[in-house]
Amino acid sequence: MSSTTAATARTRSRPTRVEVDLDAIRRNATRLRELAGAELCAVVKADAYGHGAVPVARAAIEGGAGCLAVALVEEGEALRDAGLDAQILVLSEPPVAAVPQLLAAELTPVVYRPSFAAALDEAGRARGRPVAVHVKLDTGMGRVGIPPALWRERLAGLASLPGIEVAGLLTHLARAEELDAPTTGEQLAAFDEGLAIAAELGLRPRWIHAANTAGALAWPAARRDLVRCGIGLYGLSPGGGIDAAAHGLVPALRVVSEVSFAKQVPAGTAVSYGHHWRAPTDGWLATVPIGYADGVPRRLGNRIEVLLDGRRRPLVGAVTMDQVLVWCDRHEPRAGDEVVLLGEQGSERIRVEEWAAAGETITYEIVTQLSARLPRQHRDGQAAPHAPRTGSDRRTQ
């Protein structure tokens, strides 16, 4: 916490920032839970997809999420350090050496390797209280999990360990955002076979789960007891045929800066590295202090627009490490004018989905690559009914 305080106290030399609307997070959590008709596990790995894990986790819980999920033990520890006491699932196995840390932070591991289960069993017996785990079946993602052919034997082995309690069974969908992919139905059928085997072994775990955001939104059969939503919590589309906005989810993040320099140029003026753009007419150029070191992908040069003076204006020339250029045509920009790279200004909005399409990538990659150099400012306006806290701007980092 002390480093947070120190960073906040230091004067910022640059106006460029990420603003996160915690009301949007709360409302998205409530919405996802309603849509899925299941418990919501808010996935806040990778610093809540760049949105700031601690404030986002709090807002998600205020919005009705019943548990949290992270990728790393350290991410779970940071949530505990901040005072979050919800159940925290660690989505893949850390090295066995991290077991003491994992247990000290009361994190709930996802388990699939016998060696990892053995280490947890030993630790659970040593402390005299079994470790609750969720066991993962690989029904077709092909990344981690117990293969179906080994499921009965491995699950029986796990269930026999006195230091472990099987509290959940899960799988992960590979193509849930493809509305007509046959593999999702096949994966769910394989999961059901795995669940039947678990029942034969006498297991009745409390939590059965399969859906990520796309599964929760598009595949009712994937919903089960719990849905694990990341991208939808941030109001962003998972890709494929699923539009977050059409499901009533709202983006929480804005990337904002200001004009740092403005100049009038004659037609034909070439700008930035490589001179990949020339002014089509006499007009105005604005320089904005944000670049690829902040997470604006270099390949988006000449491919996206920003909002300046309430209007869309093209980002022109190569994106440089710390700065980009914006063509303002006949409009004269002034140093200090607000520039929005992502999010709303007036009645216009630039969506993360636009950057993803222009960069031939997915929304996940865009937001997780917004770098640590951009301070995150958390805005907490009108509190949702779940949220007794109200407030002024909360600033972290």
Ligand X SMILES: *Cc1c(COP(=O)(O)O)cnc(C)c1O
Chain contacts with ligand X (rule: CB under 6 A):
43, 45, 91, 172, 212-214, 228-232, 238
Is 273 a residue of the active site? Answer: yes
Question: Please, what is the minimum distance in Å from the beta carbon of residue 230 to ligand X?
Answer: 3
Nearer to ligand X, 230 or 289 (CB): 230
Q: How far is residue 146's CA from residue 296's CA, in Å, rounded to a whole number?
A: 38
Closest-by-Cβ residue to ligand X is 230
Q: How far is residue 86's CA from residue 95's CA, in Å, rounded to a whole number?
A: 23
Nearer to ligand X, 228 or 313 (CB): 228
Nearer to ligand X, 230 or 343 (CB): 230
> Is the distance from CB of 249 to CB of 32 less than 8 angstroms?
yes
Question: Please, what is the minimum distance in Å from the beta carbon of residue 357 to ligand X?
Answer: 18
Nearer to ligand X, 239 or 291 (CB): 239
Nearer to ligand X, 251 or 291 (CB): 251
Nearest to 351 by CA among 293, 311, 304, 315: 304
> Is the distance from CB of 36 to CB of 214 less than 8 angstroms?
no
In terms of residues, how long is the chain? 397
Question: Please, what is the minimum distance in Å from the beta carbon of residue 292 to ligand X?
Answer: 24
Question: Please, what is the minimum distance in Å from the beta carbon of residue 308 to ligand X?
Answer: 31
Question: Please, what is the minimum distance in Å from the beta carbon of residue 242 to ligand X?
Answer: 10
> Is the distance from CB of 92 to CB of 144 less than 8 angstroms?
yes
The active-site residue out of 112, 234, 273, 364 is 273
The active-site residue out of 45, 136, 234, 292 is 45
Is 112 a residue of the active site? Answer: no
- Sign of the alpha-carbon dihedral angle for 363, 368, 370, 375: positive
User: Helix, strand or coil for residue 81?
Assistant: helix
Nearest to 82 by CA among 41, 33, 47, 32: 47
Q: How far is residue 65's CA from residue 262's CA, in Å, rounded to a whole number?
A: 46
Report, as residue numbers or ranges, the catalytic residues: 45, 273
